[in-house]
Amino acid sequence: MFDGMRRLVQGRLHVSSKDFGVAISVSILFMFGALVLIWPNVEKIKLAYAYQDLAKEHKELLKENNLLKLERESLRSLDRIQLLAISEVGMEEPDAAKLTTIFLK
């Protein structure tokens, strides 16, 4: 590839092989320098997108967590437990005559 370019440049611009090598080396160094300067910005952009995705996921998880807490509290409600005990298990309220009170000192 470089041989073809060298012949093309030497034929039209009359550049020696040494000068052509120096020009290629300098251009490669400039491209490498530009890459070194640009790469951190590319990484910042990637990290910013990843942060936005994680922030969105965090918000969704917090919302789901709040809904699960609400559901847990509704399932632990004493009124609900009493209703289930009476309707599904068949438990009954005891008569006042059947209650025994124990006092602890």
Report domain extents, the chain.
Answer: 2-91
Q: Span 7-11, mean pLDDT?
A: 61
> What is the distance between the alpha carbons of residues 1 and 3, in angstroms, rounded to a whole number?
5
pTM score, two decimals?
Answer: 0.52
Confidence of residue 16 (pLDDT cuts 50, 70, 90): confident
Q: Span 24-37, mean pLDDT?
A: 90
* Cα distances (Å, whole numbers) of residue 53 to 46, 48, 74: 11, 9, 32
Confidence of residue 17 (pLDDT cuts 50, 70, 90): confident
Asked whether 15 and 23 are in contact (CB, 8 A), the reply is yes
Confidence of residue 47 (pLDDT cuts 50, 70, 90): very high
**Per-residue buried b or exposed e for 36-64, using 16+ beta carbons within 10 Å of the residue's own CB:** eeeeeeeeeeeeeeeeeeeeeeeeeeeee
pLDDT at 6: 64
Structure-token match 């160094």, residue found: 29
**Angle subtended at Cα 89 by Cα 87 and Cα 92, rounded to the nearest 5 degrees:** 70
pLDDT digits (tens, 9 = 90+) for 54-94: 999 999 999 999 999 999 999 999 999 998 899 988 898 88
